[in-house]
Structure formats: structure tokens, C-alpha cells
Amino acid sequence: MIKLKEKVILDKSHQKIIATLNDKNEYLNNQNILLKQKLKEAVTKIKRIQGLEEHHLKNNGDLRTHISKLEKEIHTLKNVLPNFQTEE
């Protein structure tokens, strides 16, 4: 590594380039912060949806069992009382 003892004097074009790079760096840092916030929000939403899915599956599982029991009962009643519908 070479160490320079002289001070580096930048001309105006170099100063503008450094200012532009600093602006871009600040912009990218802000975008990084924004993306991290959005990621955190997305993770929170996913966890909430997963909790709702578990609750939904549990409740709908019970409903499916109840519906299938009712369908069996309807089928049984149709077989036991086949003429009941035609008499009405």
C-alpha cells in the first residue's frame, strides 16, 4: 500500500462526482430501510394469515364432518321414505 503525504485537491468535476455518489448512497440506504420495513410488514402479514389458515382449517374440518353426516342422513331418509316425495 502506498501512503501519500500530499493532500489531494479535487477539482469541481470530482467534487460533483463525489456529491452525486453521496446522494446515490443516501438514496440506496433509504431504499434499504424502506425495503426492510416492507419485508417486516410482509412477514407479519404472512404469520397472521397462517394463524387464520389454521383456525379456518380447524373450523371447516368440523363443518365438513357435519355436512357429510347430514348428507348420509338425507341419503338414509330418501331410501327409507322413497314414496314420501312422490306423494306430495
pTM for the whole structure:
0.50
pLDDT tens per residue across all 88 residues of the chain = 455 555 556 677 777 888 888 899 999 999 999 999 999 999 999 999 988 888 877 777 767 788 888 999 988 888 877 666 555 5
Domain membership of residue 5 (yes or no) is no
Cα–Cα distances (Å) from 29 to 17, 21, 36, 87, in that order, read 18, 12, 11, 79
Per-residue pLDDT at 76: 86
Domain membership of residue 24 (yes or no) is no
Domain membership of residue 1 (yes or no) is no
Domain membership of residue 85 (yes or no) is no
Domain membership of residue 59 (yes or no) is yes
| Total domains present in the chain | 1
Cα–Cα distances (Å) from 59 to 3, 6, 39, 47, 50, in that order, read 72, 76, 30, 19, 14
Domain membership of residue 70 (yes or no) is yes
Q: CB neighbours of 18 closer than 8 A, spacing ≥ 6?
A: 10
Per-residue pLDDT at 58: 76
Q: CB neighbours of 78 closer than 8 A, spacing ≥ 6?
A: 85
Domain membership of residue 73 (yes or no) is yes
- CB 45 within 8 Å of CB 53: no
